[in-house]
Amino acid sequence: MAMLFKRAIVIVLDSLGMGELPDAAKFGDQGSNTLGNIAQRIHLNIPHLLSLGLGNIRTLEGLLPAKSPQASYGMMAEKSAGKDTTTGHWELMGLVLHRPFPTYPRGFPPRIMKRFEKEIGRATLGNFPASGTEIIKELGEQHIKTGYPIIYTSADSVFQIAAHQDVIPLEQLYQFCQIARKILRGRDEVARVIARPFIGKPGSFVRTAKRRDYSLAPAGETLLDKLKKKGLEVIGVGKIGDIFAQKGLNRSFPTKGNKQSIQQTIQIMKEPLEGLIFTNLVDFDMLYGHRNNPEGYAGALEEFDSSLPQIIRAGKIYDIIAITADHGCDPTTVSTDHSREYVPLLIWGDKIKKGYNIGIRSSFADLGQTLAEALQCESLDYGISFLDSILRNP
């Protein structure tokens, strides 16, 4: 087959699930429907997403289906045993995990903390799930007085260390993270250890941009590796570099939020490169899903929607562009955790059918396999390509 596509752009609306998976009850996620529950409560002004076919994927109150969708559309189920950011992104790129990363809803056990405190030579504060901004408000002053680092986790598989830069210098904080990364192996092998430095005085602490992630590298080859091996360019925008531990990437652009990530993606799309642009929009999850803020989530969706015309204009005739998600995080439920949900899938481009219903895919990896075929690289270990179904007739 002649090469129809030279470039793929994948934009992950972090946590935009659209309905519980059949096994959601095992994860305590009955009734979760991130997009559906938001749309039911708040009028969403997202005309461009709807024109692509977001409202055609399934019947959701408040989302009108388009009469003539401009994209192919469907939704995907997660095959991996998990509902965290790392697992979702890895599966999108063709790597299915059969064992979930460990999480610690009650904090880290003594077998971890005693060894960590011994190796860093001091006690710690916290050790419970928390918002990063809230825990430094709560424990920041005590941290300054004692010099003890603040340890916390979240719904994700993470070990986070917060420290004031005037109390624990950056290089020492990074060293503490490396020690934690060394300890957290085997059954305690969390996906990421994260340095969370902050500055300021009690009552006005602010986290700095000196965050550093110590992530596990994917255990197998992903689409990123195969494209890079073929000589194509692979670019990560947002926290993609952290999620994949830079493995398979040629360039990485960390950003401070959705707006900057969108602008960076559009800028890169204007380049005549061949390969993959992979973008994560983290604000949906971090700022609104975990904080049970449906109004903020709705506003972020509308902000993204308003940027879609620019993204579409930046596309080239040889592009295949996909919008999807990595899990759910329903801000309307009591839980602040991620939720086990289907994720939407919108795919468009000059060579892609308009209005084609892809249906329900059994794995996120189907997207990765489809892109592998589109860009004519080695096939992935997981996933079933649907490229033939969505190609327009010549």
CATH code assigned at 256: 3.40.720.10
Residue 121 sits in the same domain as residue 246: no
Q: Are 206 and 198 in contact (CB under 8 A)?
A: yes
Q: Point out the domain boundary residue: 181, 215, 249.
A: 215
Q: Which residues form the domain of 149?
A: 110-215
What are the residues facing 352 on neighbouring strands? 391
Residue 187 sits in the same domain as residue 271: no
Domain membership of residue 1 (yes or no) is: no
Residue 253 sits in the same domain as residue 301: yes
* Structural domain count, the chain: 2
Q: Point out the domain boundary residue: 215, 238, 269.
A: 215
Domain membership of residue 206 (yes or no) is: yes
Q: Point out the domain boundary residue: 188, 215, 242.
A: 215
Residue 120 sits in the same domain as residue 241: no
User: Which residue in 38, 29, 19 sits closest to 302, CA to CA?
Assistant: 38
Q: What is the pLDDT along the chain (394 residues), one digit of tens a residue?
A: 457 899 999 999 999 999 999 999 999 999 999 999 999 999 999 999 999 999 999 999 999 999 999 999 999 999 999 999 999 999 999 999 998 899 999 999 999 999 999 999 999 999 999 988 899 999 999 999 999 999 999 878 999 999 999 999 999 999 999 999 999 999 999 999 999 999 999 999 999 989 999 999 998 999 999 999 999 999 999 999 999 999 999 999 999 999 999 999 999 999 999 999 999 999 999 899 999 999 999 999 999 999 999 999 999 999 999 999 999 999 999 988 899 999 999 999 999 999 999 999 999 999 999 999 999 999 999 999 999 999 998 6
Domain membership of residue 298 (yes or no) is: yes
Q: Distance (Å, rounded) from C-alpha 168 to C-alpha 245? A: 25
Tokens representing 287 are 């700022």
Residue 138 sits in the same domain as residue 203: yes
Residue 90 sits in the same domain as residue 21: yes
Domain membership of residue 339 (yes or no) is: yes
